[in-house]
Amino acid sequence: MTVATAKPKAPPGRFGRFLKTAAIIFESRVATIGLFMVLFWIVAGLISLVWTPHDPNASDFMINQGSSAQNWLGTDALGRDVFSRVMAGTQVILLKTRIPDINWFGSFTTPNFVMPGGVAIWGVLGSLTLGSVLGLNAGYRGGWWDQAISQVMDALIAFPRIVLYLVVIAALGTGDLVMVLAISITGAPGIARLARSLALDIKTRDYIRAAETRGEGKTYIMFKEILPNALGPLLVDAMLRVGYAIFTIGTLGFLGVGLPPPEPDWGSMIADSRKFMRSTLYPILAPAFAISSLVIGLNLFADGLREEITRFQK
């Protein structure tokens, strides 16, 4: 007699686990809407890498024209196609960062290396890394580490943010990398504060005691025990910060200290066109809509995700 034994179901693979985790997003209507808004701009940016209706930087048309079959969103003050520029404007925010080189005449030249991931993404990753390292050290080590890091972070938070951006740009000039650095430096204190509070909570858990009893080093405990357990809230916070970073890029572009022309940058597009707003509104409304829809999408996505994670944790 043979006994039939039920074959245990194989645990899901890495991709399966990813899908299961990602499914959390779709349980939230808010997160789903946000995700699609963000995806819309990512797709628009990806398409713009290979195709736009017209060259975004070429002054090929009459200036300040309204919508037409040729220029769906009209043209700007330099006779460039607004639709193409709005599409291409996504690239530098979400998809690519231009790394400058030093030329033999001693000045920065056109970037000859492009890094995947936009300025907003790298800026937030920078602030996430810097803020997490500082916050974990402050929260876990305590004592003078906590005092010193917290005081510096509080001072930076108290400093008007836009002034901080301008100080960094005034010191280092403009460019994608400078913008990444500015976003990293100004975003780090907020993340450090969050990481610190999470570390203060997590370090009282039993598994931390166990790790300490095993004789693990402080660095190991911070990055192998505490960080993975704090990652959820940190990532949700970072998501929101991508939205802030996009606002920042737009604001600095509007103030004339953003990314260097002629590559499209939504903030600069608004600033350059506002002188002509009595003639045509398209060159202002289109990038303004792009900024607001992308930021709202990111906020909705982050909010929905936070709700789901919180519910899941309960």
Instruction: Output the smallest distance, CB 99 to other proteins, in A.
Output: 13
Instruction: Output the smallest distance, CB 105 to other proteins, in A.
Output: 6
Of 12 and 173, nearer to other proteins (C-beta) is 173
The two tokens of residue 277 are 């707003």
Of 46 and 285, nearer to other proteins (C-beta) is 285
CA angle 183, 186, 192 (to 5 degrees): 115
The two tokens of residue 4 are 């039939």
Instruction: Output the smallest distance, CB 278 to other proteins, in A.
Output: 4
Collapsed DSSP state (helix, strand, coil) of residue 117:
coil
CA distance 56 to 176: 19
Of 110 and 313, nearer to other proteins (C-beta) is 110
Instruction: Output the smallest distance, CB 244 to other proteins, in A.
Output: 24
Of 101 and 201, nearer to other proteins (C-beta) is 101
Q: Are 55 and 256 in contact (CB under 8 A)?
A: no
Instruction: Output the smallest distance, CB 91 to other proteins, in A.
Output: 17
Instruction: Output the smallest distance, CB 288 to other proteins, in A.
Output: 17
Radius of gyration of the chain (CA): 23
CA distance 180 to 278: 34
Other beta carbons within 10 Å of 146: 17
Residues that bind other proteins (CB under 8 A): 57-59, 63, 77-79, 100-101, 103, 105, 107-110, 173-174, 256-257, 260-262, 272, 274-276, 278-279
Instruction: Output the smallest distance, CB 98 to other proteins, in A.
Output: 10
Of 151 and 279, nearer to other proteins (C-beta) is 279
Classify strands 96-99 and 113-116 as parallel, antiparallel or unpaired.
antiparallel
Of 107 and 313, nearer to other proteins (C-beta) is 107
CA distance 126 to 120: 10
Question: At a CB cut-off of 8 Å and minimum separation 6, what does 126 contact?
Answer: 180, 181, 183, 184, 187, 188
Label residues 220-259 b or e (16+ Cβ within 10 Å = b). Answer: ebbeebbbeebebbbebbbbbbbbbbbbbbbbbbbeebbb
Of 134 and 257, nearer to other proteins (C-beta) is 257
Instruction: Output the smallest distance, CB 264 to other proteins, in A.
Output: 12
Of 120 and 178, nearer to other proteins (C-beta) is 178
> Both ends of the chain: CA-CA distance in Å?
48
